Amino acid sequence: PLTGLANRAAYNAHMERLTAADASSIGLLLIDVDRFKLINDTLGHATGDLLLKGVASRLDERLGKRGKVFRLGGDEFCVILEAPANARGMRSLARHLIEYIGRPLEVGGSTINPMITLGGAISEGEMDAATLSQNADFALYHAKETRRGNYVQYQPSLRSTIAHRIQIVREVELALTEHRIVPHYQPLIRCADGQVWAFEALVRMQRPDNSILSAAQ
């Protein structure tokens, strides 16, 4: 009701229909509004709502004839491009959207330059709706982690990259819980007389077998 766009339930139904009919070359763009929580917290929820309405209006204005725009919830939108999609065309469209959505927007007496991050995927062969959505999710996740305010196109290698990153985060969380994040002190030695004059404090993660991971790891 806030934006006038179709919701997540409509998105799921639409995707199922499309992939059941012809799963090839469907383009999916996931769009996240950056700094939305900060805007809500500092300028109020009413301003946040106006920002979402402004972004929705601009998306529909630019994409309404090329595909279907949905608001999946919160500050996340998506676009399904039903015409045969290709990577080059989606990158060009994403760059255009970043520029167009980023124009100054008057909301609740404040001027905001909305910033969006996008992830995109294209269906191949007989890909189902769930896989296409997951691929676009991987791309958006990677974009938010590494290229916020930009666009990332899904590639199969992203799965292993993100899975590895998630595994590392889990290992660090477990190490924190088990008090295996430990300090090490490296002496700094004065060349003139060989005396230790200070220490550099380093943080290292200890494995359950007591071995120490390098900083790079």
* Six token digits for residue 125: 């062969």
Long-range CB pairs of 11-17, under 8 A, 24+ apart, other chains included = 11/70, 11/72, 11/78, 11/80, 12/129, 14/68, 14/70, 14/80, 15/80, 15/129, 15/132, 15/133, 16/129
Single-letter residue type at 65 = K
* Six token digits for residue 156: 């199969």
For residue 71, the SS3 value is strand
Which residues are known catalytic residues? 75
* Alpha-carbon gap, residue 118 to 74, rounded angstroms: 15
